Structure 1
Amino acid sequence: MIASHRLALAATLATGTLLGVLTGTCALSGSASAADLLPPPPPPPPVVEPVAIGSGWYLRGDFTQSWYEHPRDDAIPDPSDPGMPPLVGLRLSSEAGYGGGIGYQINPWLRVDATIDQRGASSFRGYSSRSVFQTGYNLEAGKVDVLTGLVNVYADIGTWYGFTPYVGAGVGFADKRMSRNYTQTTCLIDGCDGAAGTGSRDAAFRANHSVTTFAWALTAGVSYDIGAGFSLDAAYRYINLGKIRSGLDEYGGLTRVKDLAANEFRVGMRYRFADGFLPSAARDFGN
């Protein structure tokens, strides 16, 4: 009797255990089936590469020596004085200057920059004579200083042993100031201007005046990579500066000149931000 009771109890426990296992298995199976019905998880977002800010930027500083070409007289004819001849022998002295700017290397062969250059005050003079310098002549003289601002585009032709030749062109403005300007008559014979005696008469001073006009330039040069982000730069530049004029004197006269231009030699240095102060990597093309 006791044995029969133990067998019945064991059978009951076994049955309960089996039912629990079966129930858990079914639950897991149902969960797996439900999971199979869900959409797959989205892919991870793409990794955004950091943008190298400033990798193409550079600074530049330059020394400039300007040799001005001979400009031409731009005086407006005076109907009340049709015999007044134009100025001849116009000259501006050679002067040094300095400048700087900021640029960007677009790709290995193309770059752009914006530059500001200030030149020293050049001595200006020109002459006129009704008698073709037989009885006397007039001198017009003063100082001219020029400030230019240009946006330039350059094509770097290639790099050989660290040397990179290039050509470029620029457009912008030229601000020109005439100062200490005067006109003075000199008589070679007595009474050439109606007053007795010979020699220089009193000068008539003209007011200072500034003019801002369009300017353009053509450049050819070569740079040399010296490492640590620095490059030496030497270039020839032709720059067209437009017109200049003085203010009026007490008689209403003034000096007007056109076709002002200069041949310039520039030497300076460029510094590339991307290179820091590390030695420059070897490059087969461009600078």
Structure 2
Amino acid sequence: MSTTAARQIASGKLLLDEPLEGVVRITIANERRRGALDQEMLDALAEELGQLDARCLIVRGTGSVFSAGYDIGDLDGSDLAEAAERLVAHPFHAAMEALERYPYPVIAQLNGHAIGGGLELALTCDMRVAAAGIKLAMPPGKLGLIYSHTGLRKFLDVCGPAITAELFFTARNFDAERALRVGLINHLVAAEELESFTLDLARDVVACAPLSLRGNKRIIRTLRAHRWHLPAEVEKELVALRESCFASADFHEGIRAFAEKRTPEWRGH
């Protein structure tokens, strides 16, 4: 069905093709790492998004996971705070900003589980179509991580404070049916229908006037941004709060426990 052959970027961990005229599709092809996003992928994503001009963009994963978020598996214990901040606070944020600035509608095709930063990636898209049986979760609490205020704002926008609180305060998995009920996803379809349903949705998007697509998206994004406008000193305080976790004992313990597949022993600082 694709009108172009897939182009590899980020050492083949991201693929770009054009499944329909006017539609570009980005595939996260890092199945070995459960769709995790490393710095090379994030940098390539930010750069590529700035050059695309398709009237609809689809972001999808491969295998059983859409994306497990940023890749914390390779963080080195000797400079954990610096390495974590370098990955989480900068390349990831830049890639999400580039995706949010994309001038035309973006559809997340959730082939599998969307976890942590992978779920934020999905929420940064304008619409989400999910395959039955997937799970969505935000596990920062299990890692001793304070999440970014820009990321949390997306959850508050999409599903409100009560659901955001449950996601972040319990780290529980939400099944796809509940995700649909609370507004985390737009459509839930059988796995074998996911690609055709997503392409039909994209086909409807590109049938609309480009001027309307760009204009309406800009207005929606602008209204959302100004609703959450923060004074500069407050934003600086929230950024500092978030960055403080990278040097904490709990964050170091959370990362070690994740790598060792054990329950963390929290110290509270």
* TM-score between the two structures when normalised by the length of structure 1: 0.16
Structure showing greater Rg: 1
* TM-score between the two structures when normalised by the length of structure 2: 0.17
* Greater helix proportion: 2
